[in-house]
Chains A and B, each alone.
Chain A
Amino acid sequence: MTNVLQNFRYTKILFFFSLFFLSHTAFGCDLCGCATSGGSFGQGTLNNTSFIGTRYIFQKFVSKDGIFDNSPTSTERFNTYQLWGRIPVSKKLYVSVVLPYQDLKRKFTDRNENINGLGDITLISWLKIPFYKKENTEYTQIGKQPSGHSIEIGLGSKLPTGNFEQVLSNRVNPGFQLGTGSLDGILSLTYTYAADKFGINTNTSYYIKGENKNEYRFGNQFSFAGNFFYAIPKKQYSIIPFIGISGNIYDKIKQFNEVIANTDGAVYNTTVGSEVLFKTFIFGANYTLPLQHNLFGGNVTPKQSIALYLNFNLNN
């Protein structure tokens, strides 16, 4: 056990060292609507435990490469590799960090494009407010039985650590970017209820997008996600399958303070997945399928996405 703890301490130090190091390198410009915002992929695991880990996200889009009905299409495949974590600062305060590496591919009818590199780092601090079981007639937060309900308020930012290229934004899908190039604000609210066998986890987030050096400003974004999970305990581990819905709603993009037409939209998804919870780590996998969407005047079609993650538990 002490061994494990030492391990964690070591990883923790390494993690923050790398974060600090990255803050001193490569401040380019960019971010993007679809690719780089975590959006409905969420900032944590089902039961909001503390962890550090890695996550892989695959997203696919089909976009019209032109302005006409018979214009050809391009297929975009976004691979995101993340170092992510949720680190306790105090009993009620956590910090979540997502450090992405983007590998974006786009296939046109006659050529291929590929951009890769560091994406936009997201940092959110969370204040956890647990609720306790009723004593007499009043709710109280002191030392009693946890009720299973908890609320977390998150405040954070997305940093312009990924590269933004103006030339790419002139395409039908301006989301083909490593980053937005902007410093964005994130307001987030999470509600979790966990009973013995099942639970729900909901999150709503609002992203206030900043302007980048190209005077380009992605539209503000509202994201929501709700998951219902069920725990199947086994001897050495638990399987926690879940099903959920999520959505991302985008405002119009602005450049030079002028609204760019057909750049707003929304996508609503359903997600199925599972986490496998061991004593020291969590393995998670989920599959997301858009149910309804209208992005960039219908010119961008989101397809399926897949996320895989392996997190080491910091709670014990």
Chain B
Amino acid sequence: MKITNYIAAFFMAVTLTACTSTDEEITGNGNITLEFDNAFSTSDLLLDTAPYKGNETEKIKISKVKYIVSNIRLEDKEGTIFTYPKNESYFIVNEENPESQFINLFNIPSKDYTKITFGIGVDQEKYLQGAEGQGEFLTKAQDAGMVWSWQAGYKFFVFEGTYTSINTPDETAFAFHMGSHGTALDNYKEITLTLKNSARVRTNATPEIHIVADIANVLKGTTKFMLDDTAQIHVNATKSPQIATNVNGMFSVDHVHN
């Protein structure tokens, strides 16, 4: 019957067009984008609006979340590590500025990356280069209010807002500023995250690694911080390292877009 001939022809046409070669030789460089998406628990972080549940009866309204992301390294499937050029590897993520939440990295070797490492803050090596070595980034950090004027050093993490609790019925300001204290106390820490899906950098494909930073972890992480105990933490040799640990623990990779 003619019908069957048509069907056979149809199937053949499909089969022929469906055949593609998948072997590819990966060369050249590409780009990658990191998105730092701030959250509070499982909600997208909203500044100055919803009061979030802190510890116990504390309710907080967040007005500022800023942090320095630095020294980005990518590890591929074979375990080879690509280090992004150090001088270009300092960024400020600011919840008030959506653009700052996307970090674009250029000239990355085309590979399938499975791990990412980054630091929060400025390492001692960079810090000891002084104003000249830190160059443009120092200006950027000063403009963003990420430098202590009264203490030579960077604020790695800025977290501000107001809170109320059973003991503090009136809205009261809180501020956590965490950083290294000159050379006396090094609070720079690095985080390595495993990607659920590999980020495939190609000359013609820019993957995006979507990183979530759960700000709730600052108060509820390894160390529990009651704002009623201390609402202002700036330079504190005991509490700053504890905040640094909590900040370190707030990052996770949600997914990778290829």
A binding-site residues for B, Cβ under 8 Å? 16, 19-20, 23-24, 27, 66-71, 87, 89-90, 95, 123, 125, 157, 159-160, 170, 183, 210, 213, 215, 255-256, 258, 260-261
Contacts and interface: CB of A to CB of B under 8 A. Distances in A.
Given A19-B6, A69-B42, A256-B198, A27 B17 contact: yes
Given A67-B37, A68-B43, A255-B197, A183 B6 contact: no
Interface of B: 1-4, 6-7, 9-11, 13-15, 17-18, 20, 22, 37, 39, 42-44, 46, 112, 196-198, 200, 210, 212, 254-255, 257-258
Nearest to B18: A183
B256 to A, nearest CB: 9
A23 B255 contact: no
A87 B4 CA distance: 11
Contact of A68 (B6, B39, B197): B39
Given A23-B9, A24-B13, A67 B254 contact: yes
A159 B3 contact: no
B7 A123 contact: yes
Nearest to B112: A256
A87 B10 CA distance: 16
A210 B233 CA distance: 56
A95 B3 contact: yes
Contacts of A258: 197-198
Given A67-B254, A183-B14, A255-B258, 8 more contacts: A16-B2, A16-B6, A20-B6, A20-B9, A23-B14, A27-B14, A123-B7, A183-B15
A215 B197 CA distance: 14
19 contacts: A16-B3, A16-B6, A19-B10, A20-B10, A67-B37, A67-B254, A68-B39, A70-B44, A87-B3, A89-B4, A90-B1, A157-B11, A160-B14, A170-B257, A183-B18, A213-B20, A255-B258, A258-B198, A260-B255
A71 B198 CA distance: 25
Contact of A23 (B13, B197, B200): B13
Nearest to A170: B257
Nearest to B208: A170
Nearest to B2: A16
A68 B258 contact: no
A70 B43 contact: yes
A69 B13 CA distance: 46
B255 A261 contact: yes
Contacts of B10: 19-20, 23, 123
Given A27-B17, A160-B18, A256-B198, A66 B6 contact: no
A27 B3 CA distance: 22
Contacts of B255: 67, 260-261
B110 to A, nearest CB: 14
A180 to B, nearest CB: 12
Contacts of A24: 13
Q: Which 4 A-B pairs have the closest CB atoms?
A: A68-B44, A70-B43, A23-B10, A69-B42
A95 B7 contact: yes
A69 B22 contact: no
A256 B43 contact: no
A67 B3 CA distance: 49
Contacts of B46: 70
A256 B200 contact: yes
A19 B2 CA distance: 13
Given A215-B22, A255-B258, A256-B258, A261 B196 contact: yes
Nearest to A259: B197
Contact of A89 (B1, B9, B14, B44): B1
A141 B199 CA distance: 59
A315 B142 CA distance: 82
A69 B257 contact: no
B201 to A, nearest CB: 13
B210 A67 contact: yes
B7 to A, nearest CB: 6
A258 B37 CA distance: 24
Nearest to A93: B4
Given A87-B3, A256-B258, A69 B37 contact: no
Given A66-B44, A67-B212, A258-B198, A89 B257 contact: no
Contacts of B1: 89-90
Contact of B3 (A89, A157, A183, A261): A89
B15 to A, nearest CB: 8
A287 to B, nearest CB: 33
Contacts of B20: 213
Given A255-B197, A256-B258, A258-B197, A69 B14 contact: no
Contacts of B257: 170
A213 B17 CA distance: 11
A260 B197 contact: yes
Nearest to A95: B7
A95 B4 CA distance: 9
A71 B44 contact: yes
Nearest to B46: A70
A274 to B, nearest CB: 31
A95 B37 CA distance: 51
Nearest to B257: A170
